[in-house]
Amino acid sequence: MPGGGAPCQTQHLTGMARAVLTEVARMLEALAADGTTASIDLRSLPMTDADREQLEASLGRGEVVAELEIAGRSTIHETAYAGAWWICHRGANDRVSSEEIAVCPVPEILASHPADIESAAVRLKEDLLENHSSQAEASNG
């Protein structure tokens, strides 16, 4: 090798990005027709880095981005195609632990759990009562 370096590991397009795009299109049609939701586990596919880059470029970015910090960092972004979401979960050392395309109105991971909503309602009511009591004491003092 010239320069004595390691051989260049060129990754080629395999056609996987196009196959995933075709499947996402079918899934979006089903979502629009009858509300059927689905997902594609990107980590289970034999995609090269070049395939992944082509898929990301083809799907583009939409208007919604969310980041969660729950047992690692998760990022969710809407693609340029409403209803198609790119979801990436990271674990230890910020390594990708799972990655998927979810086709749905809103990814379930973003929906508040009913128990969390109940707890929030109780906390807000308590905060309002506490705030009201503090204000009443301040105006009387």
Q: What is the pTM of this model?
A: 0.79
- Identify whether residues 33 and 56 lie together within a single domain: yes
Give tens-digit pLDDT for 15-50. Answer: 999 999 999 999 999 999 999 999 999 999 999 999
**Residue 54 half-sphere exposure toward CB, CA atoms < 13 A:** 16
Which pairs count as long-range contacts for 3-11, CB under 8 Å and 24+ apart, including other chains?
11/48, 11/49, 11/50, 11/51
Pair (137, 97) in one structural domain? no
Our count of domains for the chain comes to 2
Please say if the pLDDT value at position 51 is more than 70: yes
- Give the tokens for residue 55: 């898929």
> By three-state DSSP, how is residue 86 classified?
strand
CA distances from 36 to 26, 83, 98, 104 (A): 11, 11, 22, 8
Tell me the residue range of the domain where 122 lies: 111-141
pLDDT, tens digit, for every residue of 91-136? 888 899 999 999 999 999 899 899 999 999 999 999 999 877 776 6
Band (pLDDT 50/70/90 cuts) for residue 69 is confident
